[in-house]
């Protein structure tokens, strides 16, 4: 088959080169059923003539873009990067491209993203908000394209939802620290008005209760979910007259900040203070000392969200699906021996 190098290549060009009808070419290019010989002839012809499908024209005709968006708080957070690494291959296998959007946890920005679905720049959205407000719920109910939410949704929401049991995950970490004879266990949490911040504070309280320990308000500090936020909170804790002998940080970024503050104070980890994070990102294994962390299955959540969205795009009227990912404690050197 000879490559054509002049003129504009069209679907008719492909059909002529393959020796098949335009309808057959269309079926192959759109992934519809065709016999193996036809598929091979069409694919060979596409390569030979250098045909590039006109995505804009296809979008106008089918009202589909072949694109899906993922909106999250911060693409620089390793937990979200892990989600992206799992989402993209699932969508690619389904014939979709992935667009990324960082919201900085700004509620209005997330609302705007949901409203912009009416412009049909994407066929669907995966949304991972830190807060779920009444405005979120209202926009989710009237979204003009399928939306899968990674996070906690109220029961009134009709959207597919991938949830994580972070509250019992924190309790696992607190119990682990208590089993290693830690009695002054501090919490460095994110904003308590966020979904993860609220759940992790509740899990901390559960863990203390299960371990038979009293909550000390002086050992609970709230910051933002960043390295700097964790470091500032840890410095305040470690300067107390009765500092903690263990610190649980609400994510791995904050835990890195805690490790930094401990080094600045000349403390040994875990000898003087044990440290546990949450998310079990790549940062945890590469920290020094290696960081004990609660895995919340970021890649699994991303994969499940992508699969749910593809199913929804294929079957718009199927029943809502909610899936929960269970936590797992990964013990490393920062907290002492496994129990």
Do residue 126 and residue 181 come from a single domain?
no
Residue 2 domain-assigned? no
Say what the pLDDT of residue 32 is: 59
Say what the pLDDT of residue 25 is: 76
Residue 137 domain-assigned? yes
Residue stretches of the chain with pLDDT short of 50: 1-7, 56-61, 339
Distances from the Cα of 317 to the Cα of 74, 94, 242, 313, 320, angstroms: 32, 19, 58, 9, 9
Q: Kindly give the interhelix angle for 78-93 and 298-314, rounded to the nearest 10 degrees.
A: 30
User: Structural domain tally of the chain?
Assistant: 3
Residue 97 domain-assigned? yes
Say how far apart CA 331 and CA 280 lie, in whole Å: 10
pLDDT in tens, 262-311: 999 999 999 999 999 999 999 999 999 999 999 999 999 999 999 999 99
Say what the pLDDT of residue 179 is: 96
- The CATH number of whichever domain residue 107 belongs to comes to 3.40.50.2300
Q: Kindly give the interhelix angle for 134-141 and 107-115, rounded to the nearest 10 degrees.
A: 10
Do residue 161 and residue 252 come from a single domain?
no
DSSP element (H, E) containing 272: none
DSSP element (H, E) containing 336: none
Sheet containing 274-279, strands listed edge to edge, beginning at the edge strand earlier in sequence: 220-222, 185-189, 246-249, 274-279, 292-295, 328-330
pLDDT in tens, 193-220: 999 999 999 999 999 999 999 999 999 9
Residue 322 domain-assigned? yes
Biggest CA pair distance of the chain: 84
Spacing of C-alpha 280 from chain mean position: 13
* DSSP strands (E only) in 56-205: 67-72, 97-102, 124-128, 147-150, 160-164, 185-189
Spacing of C-alpha 288 from chain mean position: 25
Say how far apart CA 323 and CA 301 lie, in whole Å: 9
Residue 271 domain-assigned? yes
Nearest to 203 by CA among 170, 178, 240: 170
Do residue 27 and residue 92 come from a single domain?
no
Domain that holds residue 27: 11-53
Distances from the Cα of 263 to the Cα of 180, 227, 270, 289, angstroms: 21, 14, 11, 11
Return the sign of the alpha-carbon dihedral for residues 22, 28, 32, 35. positive
Residue 3 domain-assigned? no
- DSSP state, 50? T
Residue 5 domain-assigned? no
Say what the pLDDT of residue 12 is: 75
* Backbone torsions φ then ψ of 19, nearest 5 degrees: 70, 35
């Amino acid at each position: 088959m000879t490559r054509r190098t002049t003129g504009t290549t069209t679907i008719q060009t492909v059909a002529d080169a393959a020796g098949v009808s335009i309808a057959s070419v269309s079926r192959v290019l759109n992934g519809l059923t065709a016999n193996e010989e036809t598929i091979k002839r069409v694919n060979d012809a596409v390569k030979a003539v250098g045909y590039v499908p006109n995505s804009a024209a296809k979008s106008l005709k089918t009202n589909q873009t072949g694109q899906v968006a993922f909106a999250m708080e911060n693409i620089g957070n390793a937990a979200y990067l892990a989600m992206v690494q799992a989402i993209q291959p699932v969508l690619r296998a389904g014939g979709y491209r992935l667009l990324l959007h960082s919201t900085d946890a700004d509620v209005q920005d997330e609302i705007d993203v949901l409203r912009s679905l009416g412009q049909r720049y994407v066929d669907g959205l995966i949304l991972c908000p830190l807060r779920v407000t009444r405005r979120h719920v209202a926009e989710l109910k009237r979204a003009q394209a399928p939306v899968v939410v990674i996070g906690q949704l109220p029961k009134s929401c009709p959207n597919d939802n991938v949830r994580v049991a972070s509250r019992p995950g924190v309790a696992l970490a607190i119990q682990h620290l208590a089993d290693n004879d830690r009695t002054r266990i501090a919490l460095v949490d994110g904003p308590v008005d966020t979904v993860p911040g609220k759940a992790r504070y509740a899990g901390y309280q559960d863990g203390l209760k299960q371990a038979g320990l009293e909550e000390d308000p002086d050992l609970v500090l709230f910051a933002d979910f960043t390295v700097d936020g964790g470091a500032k909170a840890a410095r305040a804790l470690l300067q107390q007259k009765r500092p903690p002998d263990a610190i649980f940080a609400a994510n791995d970024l904050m835990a890195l900040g805690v490790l930094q503050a401990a080094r600045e104070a000349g403390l040994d980890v875990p000898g003087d203070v044990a440290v546990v994070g949450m998310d079990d990102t790549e940062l945890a294994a590469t920290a020094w000392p290696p960081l004990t962390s609660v895995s919340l299955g970021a890649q699994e959540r991303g994969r499940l969200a992508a699969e749910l969205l593809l199913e929804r795009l294929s079957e718009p009227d199927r029943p809502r699906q909610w899936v929960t990912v269970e936590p797992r404690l990964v013990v490393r050197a920062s907290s002492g021996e496994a129990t």
